[in-house]
Amino acid sequence: MKAFSISRYKKDGELQLVNLPEPSVKEDEVLVEIHAASVNQLDSKIKSGEFKMILPYKMPLILGHDVAGVIRKTGSKVKNFKTGDEIYARASDFHIGTFAEFISISEKDVALKPNNLTMEEAASVPLVGLTAWQALVEKSNVQSGQKVFIQAGSGGVGTFAIQLAKYLGATVATTASQKNFDLLKSLGADVLIDYKTQNFEDVLINYDVVLNSQDNKTLEKSLGILKSKGKVISISGPPTPLFANELDLPWYVKLVTKLLSSKVRRRAQKKNIDYYFLFMRANGKQLAEITRLIEAEKIKPVIDKVFSFEHTNDALSYVESGHAKGKVVIKMK
């Protein structure tokens, strides 16, 4: 099969197109013929080596976390899926590789594709959908009537999280450039802040939840808009010792996370605010919940551009530019 891989960490290096054997299928896995994949900032960060302390991958490595496609084989212990099923998934850490023609994925990470989405639309959902779900439902337990601030609303996570928070009954604030305001209003955003001319900390007050995806300076400002017992969920760091313990990382990584997050944890504790670092994980059951919302037309994917498989490097470069509105997708067929 054809695949795009890296042989070493390099920020500016391109992915190499290689020919590899079709993946084998373990007893609890399904073999998926990939129809579409999407590109995430996580792919770029892994390529550059930014996450090598947390995710020490062996080389060569096929990148890609999101997939939509058709099951071609099933392992002997697979119970919930069959050959021919149209599925989508976020491949789990250390089992990624969706920039390819085939991938083997654990059954527990897979869900049936929403029947009202194309393969390209479905491929855009898993990573950002699960990130939003784990931040707003699992970690924050957002309730109707609460106020939620979602940073960078026009990005992949932002466009999905706005819709999910609105479905949960929250008042939703977000930051974006003014040219994207109409899009974000259509997704359900109530308070729109032009980050080029306004400071969100001057506009927002007494919020219940913040979904932080920006730098540490923005994170610290976010603490100031939360009410007592509010929650800030950060997907951009700094990682915490709790996160390191959950992943059973080496002692020296736990020490690093303790040092990196000490300032924000101390400030949050002083303000009686809960701070969580979220490193989303694959979860087929949660993805099935997201499927129900999509099929009920409560949430829709937002796609900026679709690239052909041959132009995977161009797709990754476009994501790295930071200009994408919603998701960037690679179409295999």
Tens of pLDDT along the chain (333 residues)?
A: 999 999 999 988 899 999 999 999 999 999 999 999 999 999 999 999 999 988 999 999 999 999 999 999 999 999 999 999 999 999 999 999 999 999 999 999 999 999 999 999 999 999 999 999 999 999 999 999 999 999 999 999 999 999 999 999 999 999 999 999 999 999 999 999 999 999 999 999 999 999 999 999 999 999 999 999 999 999 998 999 999 998 899 999 999 999 999 999 999 999 999 999 999 999 999 999 999 999 999 999 999 999 999 999 999 999 999 889 999 999 997
Could you write out the three-class secondary structure of the chain? CEEEEECCCCCCCCCEEEECCCCCCCCCEEEEEEEEEEECHHHHHHHHCCCCCCCCCCCCEECCCEEEEEEEEECCCCCCCCCCCEEEEECCCCCCCCCECEEEEEHHHEEECCCCCCHHHHHCCHHHHHHHHHHHHHHCCCCCCCEEEECCCCCHHHHHHHHHHHHCCCEEEEEECHHHHHHHHHHCCCEEEECCCCCHHHHCCCEEEEEECCCHHHHHHHHCCEEEEEEEEECCCCCCHHHHHHCCCCHHHHHHHHHHHHHHHHHHHHCCCEEEECCCCCCHHHHHHHHHHHHCCCCCCCEEEEEEHHHHHHHHHHHHHCCCCCEEEEECC
Contact between residue 71 and residue 84 where contact means Cβ atoms under 8 Å apart = yes
| Token pair for 70 | 């058709």
Which residue range(s) make up the domain with 231?
128-277
The verdict on 141 and 230 lying in the same domain is yes
The verdict on 67 and 104 lying in the same domain is yes
The distance from CA 306 to its chain's CA centroid, rounded to whole angstroms, is: 18
The Cα–Cα gap between 273 and 259 comes to: 19
The Cα–Cα gap between 158 and 326 comes to: 8
In this structure, is residue 283 part of a structural domain?
no
The verdict on 230 and 165 lying in the same domain is yes
The verdict on 132 and 121 lying in the same domain is no
Q: Which amino acid is at 182?
A: D
The Cα–Cα gap between 234 and 217 comes to: 12
The residue to which tokens 């995430």 are assigned: 40
| Token pair for 257 | 């996370």
The verdict on 243 and 266 lying in the same domain is yes
In CATH, what number is assigned to the domain containing residue 268?
3.40.50.720
In this structure, is residue 223 part of a structural domain?
yes
The verdict on 50 and 180 lying in the same domain is no
Q: What was the pLDDT predicted at 247? A: 86
The Cα–Cα gap between 299 and 157 comes to: 13
| Token pair for 230 | 């509010």
The verdict on 89 and 30 lying in the same domain is yes
**Total domain count for the chain?**
2
Q: What was the pLDDT predicted at 101? A: 98
In this structure, is residue 295 part of a structural domain?
no
In CATH, what number is assigned to the domain containing residue 17?
3.90.180.10
Picking from 66, 116, 102, the residue whose alpha carbon sits closest to that of residue 291 is 116
The verdict on 58 and 150 lying in the same domain is no
Q: What was the pLDDT predicted at 13? A: 85
In this structure, is residue 296 part of a structural domain?
no
Task: Report pTM.
Answer: 0.97
| Token pair for 148 | 């939620």
The verdict on 120 and 132 lying in the same domain is no
Q: What was the pLDDT predicted at 333? A: 74
